[in-house]
Every structure is written in structure tokens, then in C-alpha cells.
Structure 1
Amino acid sequence: MVLAGKLITELGIKAPGEKFFKQYASELHEVHNVCERVHHGKLHEGEHWHHNDSVKHWTFVIDGEVHTCNEQVEEVDEENKKITFKLFGGDIENYKVFNVILEVIIKDNGSSAVRWTIDYEKKNEDIDTPNGWMDYLSKCTRDIDGHLVKGENVVL
């Protein structure tokens, strides 16, 4: 049985790609206010949310069950609109490696898409492939996209 793998999904978004990327790159502390399945996020270690040395603790729902894990940003590539998050602890303890990679793709026609990649390695063959994560990330993408589009239509 295969212990390591990748899961990938790509979703079109209506919000500008730059705004979507900014939500994760510099406004991650607001995600639990926007995403229905993210119940709580808090700074676990460090002084700043958006610093590579900081560790965040998350509580969220996948497949109808509450899960927890810690998260740390491994890499932010501003130019290519790509962020690599390392997840560990909590419900991720059954994996040697569990990285979630966000890529915002801005197309030539002005539209944007979000590509999520989960790069994982299970500790043993009895551990399930993290398929529920793709539904979770898709739902969060739709929630954030809707929030950003709604915010664009606000006239001050």
C-alpha cells in the first residue's frame, strides 16, 4: 500500500486573485470569521500570525467531525501567489508529513483560480488517505470567495 501521496483540486473563483491570496498571506487570523467549517484559530507560539516561526492552533470540521491541528507557514512565494503550510499535532499525528499548498492562479483573461495540494506521508498503511480535506478546502474556498465578492460590492 502507498504511504505517501498528493491530492490536488483546482477551483475557479470570482474574487480577484490578489485579494484571495492576501486573505491567506496576511489576514489568516480572520479565516475563522469567514469559513463555516473553521471554528477557531489562535496563535499558539510566536508573537505574530504571519511569521514563519509562529504556530497556530486550529479547530475545524471535516466530514461532520471536529478536528484540531497546529499549523506553521513553511514558505510564502508572493510573486507566484503560493503558500506552503505545514500541519502537525492533533489529528495530524498519524502522518509523518502533511503539507497544504495554496496556489492562486491569475489567468491571462483576468479570471483567477485556486489550486490546493495536499502532500502527505502516512505513518502506516492503516491510516486513511485524507480525502475529506479536499471537500473542506473547497468549502473554505467558496466561503472566502463569497465573502470577498460581497465585500467588493459594498458602496461607502
Structure 2
Amino acid sequence: MGLVGKLEAEILILAPADKFHEVWGGRPHHMSSVSPGKIQKVDLHEGDWGTVGSVIEWSYVIDGKNHVAKEIVEAIDKENKAVTFKVIEGDLLKEYKSFKAIVQTISKGETTWVRWTFEYEKLNKEISTPVKLLGFVIHMNEELDDHLIQA
């Protein structure tokens, strides 16, 4: 089993791709009100919302346990509706030497998909693949989709 890995999932959404990308690329702090059971708060530590180089700290709950992740916004690709977050501090770095999360909204004909990609390097071979975290973000995106189509 290798230490470097990549995990991807795609989910179908009903909300327009632009609106979905707008939240992740420019207003991720809204996720605490969209998904309060999962995201406790999202704080801006450096930069401005919606800009590359900004540092964001997420406080979130998985399986009743509090977690923190501080990330730098590495890229915002408006044309391809993709945002790349690189973890620079927090609980994930207790198990992973490096961890990136990329969220991309993709229009395919009349449907819209959200693709999450995790790129990571485990600290050792006993660390599990971040499947539980992927399930967490998928469910959070379902809540965002519901929020956007109700708005």
C-alpha cells in the first residue's frame, strides 16, 4: 500500500454550477450556516474571501468529534469552476504529510456535477484512506445543493 494517494468522487447536483462554485470560490464562510451540523465556523486568517493566497480555518465535526483545518487557497479557476485548498495546519496533518482538496463544478449537458479530489501523502502505511472525510464533504455538498435550490 502506497503512502501517496488520490481519492475522487462526483455527485450530481440540481443547483447551477456558477452558484455552487461561487460559494466555494468566494464565500466558503457561508458553509457554517448552510451545514451547521458539520461546519461550526469558518474564519479568515489572512487575505480576503475569494482570493488566492487567503488562509482559512475550518472548525468541523465528524462522528461527534471536533476537528480543525487551516488551509491556504492555492488556486481559484473561474473558467473551470475549480478551487484548490492546501492544508497547512490542523488535525489532518497528524495523519498526512500533505493534503489538498480540490472542488470542481462541472456542467455536462443539462446536468451539473461536483467533483471532489483529495490528493494526500500518509505519514505511514497504517493511516487509512480518507474515505470518511470524502463522505463528509459529499453530504455537506448535498446540504449546499438543497440550500441553493431553495434560495
Do Structure 1 and Structure 2 share a fold, with TM-score over 0.5? yes
State the distance in 1 between where 2:121 and 2:63 align.
20
Number of the residue aligned with 1:103: 104
What is the CA distance between 1:47 and its match in structure 2?
Answer: 3.6
Q: Quote the RMSD (CA, aligned, Å).
A: 1.3
Q: Is the 8 A contact 1:105 1:112 kept in 2?
A: yes
Partner amino acid for 1:86? K
Number of the residue aligned with 1:154: none
What is the CA distance between 1:133 and its match in structure 2?
Answer: 0.9
Name the one with the larger strand percent: 2
Q: Is the 8 A contact 1:99 1:119 kept in 2?
A: yes
Give the % identical residues: 38
Partner amino acid for 1:124? N
Q: Which has the larger radius of gyration?
A: 1
Could you report, residue by residue, the CA deviation over 1:81-129 in whole angstroms, capped at 9, with x for unpaired residues? 1111111311122212100011111112x22010101111012123222
What is the CA distance between 1:50 and its match in structure 2?
Answer: 2.2
Number of the residue aligned with 1:125: 125
Partner amino acid for 1:43? L
What is the CA distance between 1:130 and its match in structure 2?
Answer: 1.2
Number of the residue aligned with 1:30: 30
What is the CA distance between 1:64 and its match in structure 2?
Answer: 3.1
For 1:15, what is the secondary structure of its paired residue? Answer: coil
For 1:129, what is the secondary structure of its paired residue? Answer: coil
For 1:73, what is the secondary structure of its paired residue? Answer: strand
State the distance in 1 between where 2:44 and 2:81 align.
23
State the distance in 2 between where 1:64 and 1:117 align.
24
For 1:125, what is the secondary structure of its paired residue? Answer: coil
Could you list the runs of 5+ residues in structure 1 that have no partner in the other structure? 152-156
Partner amino acid for 1:102? V
State the distance in 2 between where 1:111 and 1:130 align.
27
Moved over 6 A (4+): none
Number of the residue aligned with 2:49: 49
**CA, structure 1 residues 59+116, in 2 after alignment: closer, same or farther (shift >3 Å)?**
same
State the distance in 1 between where 2:148 and 2:34 align.
10
Could you list the runs of 5+ residues in structure 2 that have no partner in the other structure? none
